[in-house]
A = this chain, B = another copy of it.
Amino acid sequence: MNKTIPHETIKRLALYLRSLRYLARKRVEIISSRKLTEHINASPAQVRKDLACFGEFGVPGVGYQVKKLIAEIESILGLKKKQEVALVGIGKLGSALLAYPGFKRFGFRISALFDNSPEKIGKKISGLKVEDVARIEEVLRRKKIKIAIITVPAANAQEAADRLVAAGIKVILNFAPRYLNIPQGVIINTIDMAIELECLIYYLTR
């Protein structure tokens, strides 16, 4: 398999997957690349090109088998097995993510919680004990968790990231609205709500 697939392709594969799962729930069995792109911001040619990177999935003039393509993309993205996730920062956003059904449906299980507030440490939320951020390394190494979500305030985010990296975390989804220093080999995706909204404002005045 090609190791240098662009991040944008990977992201589109995840979007195709979302549409395909939606179609599967609606009992659609076969879908053309054109139909598939009605649900996402990509051309049919783009879909065919993206999927061609990984092999021959479709039948020309007919389309893709929905269930088979779901399985193929899940395999490409490495989603076949359940993934354990650590959550650092049990504030409002952290609690919202903990309750978010989408993670579970897609094979993610939040299985370690951390916070630095004495009022939260030791409490149980959704059956999980909130641990002190100082114990990140110990807990994550024991639980062999490689994925973490950061939902702490911007001021605490670098410290959280440093502890996660020291604990062997390889993938970070960061909601703190700031740049984080991360060593090579660790993948980070920062979702900054305000930036997502700012981008859109440009179109409002056009």
Could you tell me if A196 and B173 are in contact, using CB atoms closer than 8 angstroms?
yes
Could you tell me if B39 and A77 are in contact, using CB atoms closer than 8 angstroms?
no
Could you tell me if B14 and A195 are in contact, using CB atoms closer than 8 angstroms?
yes
Could you tell me if B83 and A193 are in contact, using CB atoms closer than 8 angstroms?
no
Residues of B within 8 A of A97 (CB): 193
Could you tell me if A179 and B19 are in contact, using CB atoms closer than 8 angstroms?
yes
Decide if A67 is an interface residue (CB 8 Å cutoff): no
Could you tell me if A199 and B10 are in contact, using CB atoms closer than 8 angstroms?
yes
Could you tell me if A147 and B204 are in contact, using CB atoms closer than 8 angstroms?
yes
Identical copies in the complex: 2
Decide if A15 is an interface residue (CB 8 Å cutoff): yes
Segment of A57-65, A98-106, A122-130, A131-139 engaged in the interface with chain B = A98-106
Interface string of A152-175 (1 = CB under 8 A from B): 000000000000000000111100
Decide if A44 is an interface residue (CB 8 Å cutoff): no
Could you tell me if B22 and A198 are in contact, using CB atoms closer than 8 angstroms?
no
Chain A interface, number of residues (Cβ within 8 angstroms): 61
Complex CA distance for A108 and B106, rounded to whole angstroms: 32
Residues of B within 8 A of A13 (CB): 199, 202
Complex CA distance for A78 and B105, rounded to whole angstroms: 38
Residues of B within 8 A of A52 (CB): none
Residues of chain A in range 61-80 having any CB-CB distance to chain B below 8 Å: 76-79
Could you tell me if A200 and B147 are in contact, using CB atoms closer than 8 angstroms?
yes
Could you tell me if A202 and B77 are in contact, using CB atoms closer than 8 angstroms?
yes
Contacts A/B (CB < 8 Å), 28 sampled: A7-B199, A10-B202, A17-B195, A17-B198, A18-B177, A18-B195, A19-B179, A77-B199, A77-B202, A78-B201, A85-B197, A92-B95, A92-B96, A93-B93, A95-B96, A96-B96, A97-B193, A100-B193, A103-B193, A146-B204, A170-B203, A171-B200, A171-B204, A173-B196, A173-B197, A173-B200, A187-B203, A191-B196
